[in-house]
Amino acid sequence: MVTPLPPAEGAGRARSATEAFLYRRLETLADTAGRFRLNAELPIAFDGWDRMEVDLLCEQSRIAIELDGSQHLGDAEAYGRDRRKDVLLQEHGYRVLRFLLKTLGRISIKFWMQFCGPYLIKPLECELLPPVGTAQKHR
């Protein structure tokens, strides 16, 4: 009898070398260690399924990182699907950071942290602004 393998965890869930590299790198940084899940599922209906998968997810800061291969730009259907996914994630309160795989390897970790760092603050530490187009009442 063959015993099924348990679901992959951590970098073992990667579908590409770049996903695995970025996940491992985020795990080595004090500000991001333990905060991201790789190929995480969210209970958001998408594309005929009752859930959506995100390449890297930081639930605490509501960040969804998507890593795209060149096929995402060369195919109008894939491009449109990605935009629909972005909109759904944003409607559910996530910030979406989308990177091309071929350019991600050229981005230094210093730049990455300067770019992403402001999004990694704890949600309770930031002031919530009213939705765009709504007027604030003065006290």
- Burial pattern 75-103, b for ≥16 Cβ within 10 A else e, equals eeeeeeebeebeebbeeeebebbebebee
In the chain, the largest separation of any two C-alpha atoms, in whole Å, equals: 71
**By three-state DSSP, how is residue 15 classified?**
coil
Strands 95-100 and 63-68, sheet pairing: parallel
Residue type at 50 in one-letter notation: D
CA 120 centroid distance within chain: 12
Residue range 17-55, pLDDT digits in tens: 788 888 888 888 888 889 999 999 999 999 999 999 999
Lowest mean pLDDT among 3-12, 14-23, 95-104, 110-119: 3-12
Helix (H) or strand (E) holding 99: strand 95-100
Mean pLDDT across 78-90: 92
* pTM score of the predicted model: 0.70
Cβ 121 vs Cβ 127: under 8 Å:
no
Confidence band, pLDDT 50/70/90 cuts, at residue 131: very low
Class of domain 10-121: alpha beta
Q: Pick the most confident of 2-6, 16-20, 78-82, 121-125.
A: 78-82
**By three-state DSSP, how is residue 11 classified?**
helix
**By three-state DSSP, how is residue 52 classified?**
strand
Mean pLDDT across 10-15: 66
Supply the pLDDT for residue 100.
80
Query: Structure tokens of 36?
Result: 């991201």
